[in-house]
Each structure stands twice: as C-alpha cells, then as structure tokens.
Amino acid sequence: MPLGDFTPLLARPARAGRADGPATVSRRRPRTGGLSSERLSPFVLIAPAVAVIVLFRLWPLLLGVNFSFTGDGARNGSAVGLDNYAELFADPLFLGALRNVGWLVLLLPIAVAIPGMLATFIYLRVPGHRFYRSVYFFPAVLSPVIVGSIFNLLLSFDGPVNSLLELAGLGPIDWLGDSDVAMFTVVGVHIWATFGMSLVVFLSGFATLDPALLDAARSDGASLPQVIRHVIIPGLSRTIQFVFVTTMIGMLTSMFGLIYVMTSGGPGGSTYLPEYYIWIQQGQMNRPAYASAASTVLFLVMLVVGLAQVSFLRRTGRED
C-alpha cells in the first residue's frame, strides 16, 4: 500500500551530537566486576533486528542479483551469463512495462502539484480547512485492494461513472477495457488514493515555514501565484524534494494491488508495470531466475530515477 513507501529520505543519524552520551559499559564495569551481560547488552538489544534485516532484506538483494545470472527450468542453477537480461529486453511485455514507467515519470509533476496546491490552500486557511485535511487523507489508509475493488464497480463499462457521463451527454468510456485508456485510469485511481499522503507531508513542511515571511509578502501586495513562486516553493524545497522521491517510489512499488485487482495487467498487457511483471514471471510462469533479472533492472531504474531527481531538484533549488 502507498503508506509503505514513505521512507524518510532526509534522515540523518539520530545519534549525531550525542557523543557525550553515557559511556555505560566502562563506567559500570569496575564496580561490578566482569558483568559480561551488561557489556554485551547493546548487542543483545540490537541483534534480533539486525538478524531480521540482514537475513530477509539485504541478503536476498545479493542473492537475487546473483540468481539473475542463472537459468530456469531445464537450465536450473547453471550460469547463463546475461541471457536473462537479453531475453528481458526483447520481451514486448517488459518493454511495455518500462514504457509505462516512463509515463509515470511524466505524470509525476501532476501527482506532486495536486497535493502541493491543496496543501497551500489548506495552509492559507480556506473555509473548512480542518475538514478537508482529514477527508483528503482518508483514502491513503485504504488498501489498494479495497480502492481497486470499489473503482472496479464504479468504472465498469455499464457502471455508475459512465451512466453519469451519459447524463451529461458524453459517450461511455471503456475505462479499464481500452488499452489506450486503462493505464491512465489506474494511475488516476492511484493518485486519488495517495494524494492525501503527500498532502500531509506538505502540511508538515508548511509548519516549519516562517509565517513572518508570508505576512511580509502579503503586506507588500504579493498575489497568490507570487507568494507561491517566491515564498512557498523556496521555503519548502526540501519537502518538495521529499514528496517527489516518495511519490515516484510509491508509483513504482505500490501499484501492484491496483493492477492485480483492476486490470491484471491487461488489456493486452497495456497496464504492466515492472513489479507486476516480476510477480507473473516468478509465480505464474515459474521462472524465478528470470524474474530476478527483472527485479535487478527495477532496482537500477529506481536508483537512477531517484538520484536523477535529487540532483535535478538540488540544482533548481539552488537557482532560486
């Protein structure tokens, strides 16, 4: 679900500046003799967490990369070099999935601008801002499965949305059955479901903005677009950066549920994303090694997109 992807990008080790912390071990040792359990206590406290993370998160990453150079089925386990990757980039389904990633990158500014604008209005206290804040956030806590199921109902060809369109004199749209439309429908539903999350992040960024700056701009007679351009965007550059990266990660890693429920990758493979492709290959097609190659490509894509965004936003941030 979307929530899972709000990783604290701008984190800095919380221990910074804590060098004067208690030198527990050495202080207690002389008094109580050996006391090895006390001496080992930090490791005892942290060992279970480290074990879980290493075993089930970091180690599989290496294992997967390694695995992607081996074969499936008859060639199970034998080294096949780059065969999996060559096959991957010859598969129209996978290329389609990558093209859809391209669409996501292009749609990203919209997915960031919508919550950004709404957060600005809420911050400027439009009537009912408290209400909007909690209502907008609500879909973000719903599972993609629930969201997808509901929109399956609403967007089916003879469904309520089309009958509303008919009332307005507009022809029915095959939201999920038309291969030119389906991907945008799914992305639209994803944005509907997650914009509240970015909104809340924006609002917490606004809380760090100096209100005196806004007052000064207003008393100088600045219009709303001017305030946004010259006060809010520069003041929130870190938050905007954070939202860009987390929204991108969210689009690349938490749309599985929606695709699974709404389109199953169809029609005609038009709504495949890499994560769905990986799932199909490893489960339905029983080709885990090949799926690992797709995983490795997804990881590289995310790394490249993430780093490109950060450096791009840094540069534009500096120009301001």
Partner 1 sequence: MRGARISRWLIALPMALLALATIYPLVFTGNAAMKTRRDYILDRFAFTDTLRWDNIATAWTSAGTARYFLNSVIVVAGASALLLLLGSMAGFALSHLRFRGSRALFLGCLAALFVPFQVIMVPLVRTMADTGLVDTYPGLILAYTAQYLPFTIYLMTSYYSAIPTEITDAARIDGNTTYGVYRRIMLPMGRPALLSVGVLNALFCWNDVLIALLMMPSAEHRTLMVGVTSLRGQYSADIPTFASGVLIAAVPVLAVYLFFQRRIADAVTAGSTKG
For partner 1, the binding residues in 18-77 under the rule CB under 8 A are 18, 20-25, 28, 37-38, 41-43, 45-46, 48-50, 52-53, 55-61, 63-64, 67
H helices of the chain, in order, are 24-32, 36-53, 59-67, 83-88, 92-123, 129-137, 144-155, 160-167, 182-206, 211-219, 224-227, 233-235, 237-253, 256-262, 274-279, 288-319
Q: Is 291 one of the binding residues for partner 1 (CB under 8 A)?
A: yes
**Who's near 302: CB < 8 A, 6+ residues apart?**
248, 249, 252, 253
Kindly report each contact of residues 147-154 with a partner whose C-beta sits within 8 Å and lies 24 or more positions away, as own/partner.
147/189, 147/192, 147/193, 147/257, 147/258, 148/189, 148/257, 148/258, 148/260, 148/261, 148/262, 149/261, 151/189, 151/262, 152/176, 152/261, 152/262
Residue 30 is which amino acid? P
Instruction: Report in angstroms how near the CB of residue 278 gets to partner 1 at its nearest.
Output: 6
Complex with partner 1: residue 109 or 128, whichever CB lies closer: 128
Complex with partner 1: residue 82 or 141, whichever CB lies closer: 141
Complex with partner 1: residue 131 or 180, whichever CB lies closer: 131
Instruction: Report in angstroms how near the CB of residue 47 gets to partner 1 at its nearest.
Output: 9
**Who's near 108: CB < 8 A, 6+ residues apart?**
244, 247, 248, 251
CA-based radius of gyration for the chain: 25
- Per-residue contact track with partner 1, 164 to 193, x per CB under 8 A? ----------------------------x-
Q: Is 6 one of the binding residues for partner 1 (CB under 8 A)?
A: yes
Report how far Cα 36 is from the mean position of its chain's Cα atoms. 44
Instruction: Report in angstroms how near the CB of residue 139 gets to partner 1 at its nearest.
Output: 6
Q: Is 319 one of the binding residues for partner 1 (CB under 8 A)?
A: no
Nearest to 245 by CA among 305, 175, 180, 188: 305
Instruction: Report in angstroms how near the CB of residue 317 gets to partner 1 at its nearest.
Output: 14
Query: What is the rounded CA–CA span in Å between residue 38 and residue 25?
Result: 7
Segment interacting with partner 1, rule: CB under 8 A, options 80-88, 99-107, 225-233, 279-287: 279-287
Which positions from 89 through 128 interact with partner 1, judged by CB under 8 A? 118, 121, 124-128
Complex with partner 1: residue 180 or 286, whichever CB lies closer: 286
Instruction: Report in angstroms how near the CB of residue 277 gets to partner 1 at its nearest.
Output: 10
Query: What is the rounded CA–CA span in Å between residue 121 and residue 182?
Result: 31
* The one among 197, 227, 251, 305 contacting partner 1 by CB under 8 A: 197
Q: Is 228 one of the binding residues for partner 1 (CB under 8 A)?
A: no
Complex with partner 1: residue 149 or 179, whichever CB lies closer: 149
* The one among 93, 105, 142, 228 contacting partner 1 by CB under 8 A: 142
Complex with partner 1: residue 124 or 213, whichever CB lies closer: 124
- What's 209's DSSP letter? S
Q: Is 224 one of the binding residues for partner 1 (CB under 8 A)?
A: yes
Instruction: Report in angstroms how near the CB of residue 153 gets to partner 1 at its nearest.
Output: 7
Instruction: Report in angstroms how near the CB of residue 126 gets to partner 1 at its nearest.
Output: 5
